[in-house]
Amino acid sequence: MALKHYKPTTAGTRGLTLVDHSDLHKGAPEKSLTVGLKSKGGRNNFGHVTVPHQGGGHKRKYRLIDFDRKKKDIPATVVRLEYDPNRTAFIALIEYKDGVRSYILAPHDLKPGDIVISGTREDIKPGNAMPLKNMPIGTIVHNVELKPGAGGQLARSAGCYAQLMGKDGVYAQIKMNSGELRKVHSECLATVGSVSNPEQRNVNLGKAGRARWLGIRPSTRGMAMNPNDHPMGGGNGHSKGHEPVSRTGIPAKGYRTRSNKRTAKMIIRSRHLAKKKK
């Protein structure tokens, strides 16, 4: 997909850059694969705002995505590509030979009419899913499982991918987009190719109103708040002597919060290693 640039006839179109959706389906989604979605506005079950700057936006329907690809060894035809308001990647509606339809994450370069299949040992072509142990070294993959049968969890955002770097016993080594090198069980399923819509990173919304349509509320700097609203609030002028922290008081500049000892052994090389060398 290409980018669309607009002639600045209004202030909102000056600098506006969007992804061209002309090749996507224009109608409604598959009704049997959608459910209602209630907007939470960043609030938890107590009604407290736990994720700031969320709320409003257009009403959405959630598309049920088949992340686990459990329908094995049955070829499926790509019916169409669709826009999904709940994610940055495009989705593909596929129809199996037995007539069952489902949504999958659309890989880059997937087109209507293509055949995709999930199995144990398939061709290395975009959209095919198989265990990591049956893929050649160097394969670009996405929608990678962390546990066999749990469904894909890694590399699902627009333009993301992981690369199979090696195999060691029951584990496969994959390199993430962030630079992290980690171990994943070789029985875990992954889909060949990178995720669609790589141009998403170049989008410029152009005006605040377009962000509000997406459910993004305005953000206020902590330093501009009062002391009872933020740890960095209050004081006189710009020189306040506050350490940069989040609104809950966690240091914001490089403070590590990850402490998962159970999965730390799976990380071979941290994504922060490249930053340390600079």
- The matching CATH number, chosen from 3.90.1720.10, 3.40.50.2300, 3.40.50.720, 4.10.950.10, for 223-278 is 4.10.950.10
Q: What is the pLDDT of residue 63?
A: 97
- Are the CB atoms for 142 and 162 separated by under 8 Å? yes
**In the chain, ranges of CATH 4.10.950.10 domains:** 223-278
Angstrom distance (rounded) from CA 94 to CA 102: 6
How many CB atoms within 10 Å of residue 265? Answer: 10
Per-residue pLDDT tens digits for 192-232: 999 999 999 999 999 999 999 999 999 999 889 999 998 99
> What pLDDT does 276 receive?
60
pLDDT reported for residue 271: 87
pTM (predicted TM-score): 0.90
Stretch(es) of the chain classified as CATH 2.40.50.140: 3-200
CB 237 within 8 A of CB 52: no
| Fold category of 3-200 in CATH | OB fold (Dihydrolipoamide Acetyltransferase, E2P) (2.40.50)
